[in-house]
Structure 1
């Protein structure tokens, strides 16, 4: 049973508490995925799961929640914003407001030299798995994080925050009813398990290993870029670029960096669903404290 870490990894006033819903949900998805996932795989089911991943993780998480709601890298109609937030819910990652809050918490502390251990990446992968997938941060002073009221008190986001898991379970029931048990296993528990663990893994690795071309003055974390993870995660693996250009809808900054999320943004712009798109090199997206330098590499064997 999870209990708060003995030595506090957060700043006084904030605290970690066991995220019982987070824990239960992870293993509720992971258990059937491990038991039936491999035997349920087939070409059509795998393709359907991949399409759902693009729709939910690509459009919902990377484009809708991360670049859109959190970083405001483009403008869109309220309906589009709400639809993308709904697609995020079907990633199975959790409630949108929980993710908005923790992103603001992380950005605030990682851009300070007194960043607490929970948001630094100088610990092991096992500890990071334990902390980030089993605990939730409760802030003693949420006002210092300057989260926009329009997000915290958005009625649609609040509704999705309370009901997100019901939407995922309802989708699982519909897929089971119309396409069978195996299709449900591949398209929901297996896909959600890969999404949760993949998101955590990309976040961990892209803060520790790869190459960086930017330093952020007086910041504890600068992030790193990784070609493979960047391509697989819709650009989220180009984290050093993102730390330096947080308001850019394009996370790649060089020709050899494949940001598939950027192509999704470009598609939405082409059909008129988003506009005023902020792009590195074409808009003032670079943080004032970010300084460009020659490549700096960090590999696991350098720890």
Structure 2
């Protein structure tokens, strides 16, 4: 029997929520310049450049490289490709890759149990979720229970990026400033990263609380929901009920009306021969054993 969270703590005894000082400093280091100079620096060409960087970093780096590739192993690729995609993740500005690997394993472990502690449940307000998720980090008293692959935790390249991720972003900001000017740096770094951080957090919050679901997960606290708009805007990450049911699928959409732009990026890499053995829902055995198909279940804020 695992210990459970108490009314005084959102995590189980032995685990601790600690202020993520680097996370806090980084968030507002990006947000303040974005708010002060972002609007005055905005232009069509710079917006386009920032959008392209978002596709490269968030699409290829986060959704395809870190999430579907390293964490869920939904395809195979050469070590160079894996390393390059991890480097692109660093330039999302979301943080270090190993921090994200760890928290993903923590979250998946607890959300697929009925005794999920409050920190990983989504029965709280958006204000509390903003406070918890963007300002704190979980320190586990027993990281071995999460069975994080040792080849990930001790991968030399990932360890290096974990220690230096912010330096890569700052150097890129300096190079953009030197080559294209202050306005280009503001739009392509602080504004883009602020949108990425808040966008990722918001998609994660909403896709665990609101939308439609076609799967239930036995003995799980969180089943996730699908959202057409957020799914399309987040490279498929907003189809979270599908992802909970088919975690190893490189394709997060399961219906024709769900636009998973991340899947098209995977398909592009496969066509170029950069990834192979791609796991696809409906073609491979990607469904979690405890996932059960059900008729549509909707949940929206006005139903609470």
Q: Tell me the TM-score normalised to structure 1 length.
A: 0.98
Unaligned segments of structure 2, at least 5 residues: 1-6
Q: Determine if the alignment matches structure 1 residue 218 to structure 2 residue 228.
A: no
Q: Distance in 2 between matches of 1:135 and 1:7?
A: 16
Corresponding residue for residue 103 of structure 2: 102
Corresponding residue for residue 159 of structure 2: 158
Corresponding residue for residue 272 of structure 1: 273
- Following TM superposition, where does structure 1 have runs of at least 4 consecutive aligned residues deviating by more than 3 angstroms? none
CA root-mean-square deviation: 0.9
Q: Distance in 2 between matches of 1:273 and 1:11?
A: 41
Corresponding residue for residue 15 of structure 2: 14
Q: Distance in 2 between matches of 1:96 and 1:14?
A: 21
Per-residue CA deviation, residues 254-297 of structure 1 (Å, 9 max, x unaligned), is: 00000000000000000000000000000000001000010000
What is the CA-CA distance between 1:7 and the residue it aligns to? 2.6
Unaligned segments of structure 1, at least 5 residues: 1-5
What is the CA-CA distance between 1:133 and the residue it aligns to? 0.1
Q: Distance in 1 between matches of 2:72 and 2:272?
A: 21
SS in 2 for 1:206: helix
Per-residue CA deviation, residues 141-196 of structure 1 (Å, 9 max, x unaligned), is: 00000000000000000000000000000000000000000000000000000000
Alignment of structure 1 residues 164-179 onto 2, 5 Å: 164-179=165-180
Q: Distance in 1 between matches of 2:118 and 2:269?
A: 38
SS in 2 for 1:198: helix
What is the CA-CA distance between 1:302 and the residue it aligns to? 1.5
Q: Distance in 1 between matches of 2:233 and 2:246?
A: 20
Q: Distance in 1 between matches of 2:8 and 2:22?
A: 23
Deviates more, 1:233-242 or 1:7-16: 7-16
Corresponding residue for residue 3 of structure 1: none
Corresponding residue for residue 52 of structure 2: 51
Per-residue CA deviation, residues 8-35 of structure 1 (Å, 9 max, x unaligned), is: 1001111100000000000000000000
Q: Distance in 1 between matches of 2:79 and 2:13?
A: 37
What is the CA-CA distance between 1:88 and the residue it aligns to? 0.0
Q: Distance in 2 between matches of 1:13 and 1:252?
A: 37
Q: Distance in 1 between matches of 2:16 and 2:251?
A: 34
SS in 2 for 1:296: strand
What is the CA-CA distance between 1:301 and the residue it aligns to? 1.2
Corresponding residue for residue 29 of structure 1: 30
SS in 1 for 2:208: coil
